[in-house]
Amino acid sequence: MKRNVPQEIQSLRALKEFTTARIAIGRVGTSIPLKQFLEFKLAHAHARDAVYSELDISSLTDLLKLFTLPVLHLQSKVSYREQYLQRPDMGRRLNDESIQLLKEYHSETDIAIIIADGLSATAVNQNSLGLLQILIPQLTAAGFKLAPISLVEQGRVAIGDDIGHGLNAKLSMVLIGERPGLSSADSLGVYLTYSPKPGLTDETRNCVSNIRPGGLSYAKATKKIFYLINEAFKRKSSGVMLKDNAGLLES
C-alpha cells in the first residue's frame, strides 16, 4: 500500500537539492526512520573523529613547496589534544621554541599565511592546498610580499596574532579547521587580522567560513578573501571596522 506523505514533507523535499542539512527525513512512530538514524550516528562519529584528527605535516610540507616559500613548523603551548580542548587559552599562544624560531625572520612582509589544525585537522588536510593554489598566485600578482608559511599544531585562531607579529607582517591570514557540524566535518575557515599583535580579540578579525567542496567553493572563497585583504590594506583595519561590501557572490 502506498504511504501518504504529508504535504509539508513533500514541500521540504525540494530543498534537499540545495542543502545537506537533515530536513524531510520522515518519521516512524515517534522516531526517525532507521536509515536516517544510522546516518546521524555515522555523521556524529565523523565529527568526533575530526576533532581528534591530526595535521598531515609531512604531506602538507611537501605540497606547500609548490609556492617556493619557506615552511615553518610551529607549536602552541598545548602538549596534547585533551589539553587543547580543555585550555583554549594555551592554544592561542606559541610555545617558547616557536617564538625563538620566528626571531630568525626580520624582514617586513605584507601577509603571513598560517595553517592551523583548529577543531578539524581533516578540513585543513583536505582543503587548504586547493584554496592556496588559487589565492597565492593572485596575492603575488597583486604585489603582496608573503612571509614564510606557518604550519601550526594545536593552534587556535588567535595564534595568528603571535605569528603575524613575529614575522613582521601587516596582515595575518589563518586557515583553520572549524568546529565540525553533523554534515560538515571538513569545513575550513579563514580569519584575517590587520596589524596582528598579541592580545587582540575577535572583533579585530574578518572570517570567511564553510570553505569545502560541499560548501563555499575555493574560487568563491578566494574572491571574498582577496576583496577583504585589499580593503584591509586600503583602510588599514579589519574586523568590525571593515564591512564586506562586495555584494552577493556570483553563482
Q: What ranges do the domains of the chain cover?
A: 57-241
pTM for the model stands at 0.87
CB 182 within 8 A of CB 22: yes
pLDDT at 72: 97
CB 72 within 8 A of CB 94: no
What CATH superfamily is the domain 57-241? Ethanolamine ammonia-lyase light chain (EutC) (3.40.50.11240)
Question: H-type helices in the chain, by residue range?
Answer: 7-13, 34-51, 57-64, 81-86, 88-91, 96-102, 121-141, 159-166, 218-235
pLDDT-derived band at 251 (thresholds 50, 70, 90) equals: very low
CB 81 within 8 A of CB 153: no
Query: Is 211 in a helix, a strand, or coil?
Result: strand
Which one has a higher pLDDT value, 249 or 159? 159
pLDDT in tens, 86-137: 999 999 999 999 999 999 998 999 999 999 999 999 999 999 999 999 999 9
